[in-house]
Amino acid sequence: MGAVRVPGGVQFTAALSFRNTLKLFIHSKDNEIIDHVSMSEYRVAPGLYSCVIEGEWNSEYSYSYEVDGKSCPDPFMSASTARRAFGDGEAETDRAKLPDTGFDWEGDRALEIPFNNVIAYQLHVRGFTAHSSSHVRNRGRFLGIVEKLDHLQKLGVNQIVLMPCYEFDEVMRPGDNQSMENIDYRMETGDGAPLKINFWGFTSGRYYMPKAAYSSKDPVNEFKSMVKECHRAGIEVIMRFYFPDHLNKAFIPDILRFWAREYHVDGFFLMGSDIPMEIIAADVFLRDRKIYNTFFNKDAITCKKYGYNRNMAFVNSDFMNCCRKFLKSDENQLSEFCFRQRLNPPDVHVVNYITDYYGFTLNDLVTYDYKHNESNREDNSDGENFNYSWNCGAEGPSRKRSVLSLRMKQMKNALTFLLLAQGTPMLTAGDEFMNTQNGNNNPYCQDNEIGWVVWKDSKQAAQIYEFTEMLIKLRREHPILHPEREFRIMDYASCGFPDLSYHGDMAWSPRYDNHLRHIGIMICGKYARLTKIKEDDFFYIAYNMHWEDHTFALPKLPKGLVWTVKYLTCDDSAGRIVHKTIGERGDTVTVPDRTVAVFISTEDKAAQTAAVDTKKKGNTKDAGR
């Protein structure tokens, strides 16, 4: 569909009414018409027309259709003559053109990073760098992301998930959506006030074009440059697409193939209520691209006799809701939390997150009990009411040390939940340095500091950033923390330890009573290798989300190893956790309230020294004889 270069000219294919005319223009000469073709003479099927215009296509040419006397842009256009700033609602002639085909990919291809190695990071192309604090030249653009690749690489991210960045109309007009008829579309009162902005872009659009407002000059080549530079930095690019119910679903696989082929995109996050997932799963042209969706019938796909795309993944709120409830010490969450932490099915993957574009940021999750969406001008009636958040004792910003300390600890707890779970983790842009939306949990119309990422360099922000960086590094350095397959909770390697085991106040004796809010999880490093000859380490993660301290009995390690504290989510300056190194049988550790303590196995140097001393004494006695 659309306009495609073919040998000897350009083929134009359109699904329009019978009375339509193709018009060619030279847009550099006041849109002078140079040719017109009655497409009704080139019918190839009911409602489908196709013809070839012979000759070389000049870069100054553009085209559109005239249907029943009215101008109609090609819905399948892949480039446009129109240039508008983001939020500009003024009408402009939007004619299609053919994009330049001379981009040099320099051998680039999709990265195909295994799911268990992915650290995903979702962002809004404009919101990521639009604020002056981003300190980039190309603010709010595709190339602005390129300027921030050093930040993403240092953090440890190897996949970005882009919110809609195909060409969509961000200006919300009355009548566009009947379900939103009661919305005040004017951001200010009075005539001539600007219309409301659909900042997120979850609406239909021209699905074959990168958004021009996210570029400085050439959206096609700038998007391609962004993808190429991301791949060069070892970072995948995943695109979100929203497909409304009225869209012809037969075109969806074609749209995905187009972006995979033309733009080297690594995968797609599909949104909509009627996505043809079975067709997409069986599409051989998408076999090497990741396919995300909030829900699909897994059994209907995996039980088919034909092959299916094994790069499909669920991305839904189940993990988020469970972990948020457990974080704020809700009752009866322990069993569900343990299940979500180890969930890693072999056939269809899972992507986990604590925060999303919709809802509170990580900072706001521990700062607000209630949503504060007044700036959306909908009387605070929009947005999710059930956020499972807790303000830690004060609603909104606070100067109390006790409140700030607890919030810092809770953010670290949440990051630990996410990055030590077995599924693929997905961070939200700005959470690594405490970005806030001022309590707005639905900033879909906020093209300003509420919806943008405000880059912070405060002492507290640096602390969260360094903690996030450390956690990602820990996960990536230890394959046992991101295995390819789900743990079986059994000793199938006959090594004396199950791959994963649960513990409570007593080792090997977990309890899941409704009122309990603490659990110990041991991960056996013998089921993964750091090198060909060296096994990975043991890990023991003590989760205590109770408001009281709890004592955990540590399971005994193989001879020659002891437990050492890797990190705590609390400030242990008061020495509240008992022992830093523990090695004898029956030892216990007391973990402070609302704290996660992570232990790692290390060599028992004290025992080794004692053994050497004993051997020396024995040799001395032998020499005396």
Exposed/middle/buried for 21, CB within 10 Å: 0-12, 13-18, 19+?
middle
Instruction: Check the CA dihedral 542-543-549-553 and report its sign.
Output: negative
pLDDT at 189 (0 to 100): 42
> Which stretches in the chain have pLDDT values below 70?
18, 27-31, 89-93, 174-194, 305-306, 572-586, 606-625
CATH code of the domain made up of 487-608: 2.60.40.1180
3-state helix vs strand vs coil in the chain, percent to 5: 25, 25, 50
DSSP per-residue codes, 531-562 = SSS-BPPPEEEEEE-SSS-EEEEPPPPSTTEE
Assigned token pair, 64: 């559109």
CB 239 within 8 A of CB 162: yes
Exposed/middle/buried for 457, CB within 10 Å: 0-12, 13-18, 19+?
exposed
- Same topology, domains 2-72 and 487-608? Answer is yes
Assigned token pair, 153: 């690489």
Domain boundaries of the chain, sorted by first residue: 2-72, 487-608
320: helix, strand or coil: helix
CB 319 within 8 A of CB 423: yes
CATH 1.10.150.120, applies to 2-72: no
The pairing of strands 539-544 and 518-523 is antiparallel
| CA–CA dist 393, 388 (Å, integer) | 15
- From 293, 246, 445, 416, select the one nearest 358 (Cα to Cα): 445
Q: Record the pTM.
A: 0.92
Q: How far is CA 298 from CA 20, 90, 278, in A?
A: 43, 45, 9
- From 108, 113, 122, select the one nearest 228 (Cα to Cα): 108
- Overall residue count recorded for the chain in this entry: 625
pLDDT at 67 (0 to 100): 85
| CA–CA dist 147, 131 (Å, integer) | 14
DSSP per-residue codes, 356-405 = -SSS--HHHHTT-SS---GGGSSTT-SS-S------TTSSS----HHHHH
pLDDT at 526 (0 to 100): 96
| CA–CA dist 96, 75 (Å, integer) | 9
Instruction: Quickly tell me which residue has 């020659």 as its tokens.
Output: 560
406: helix, strand or coil: helix
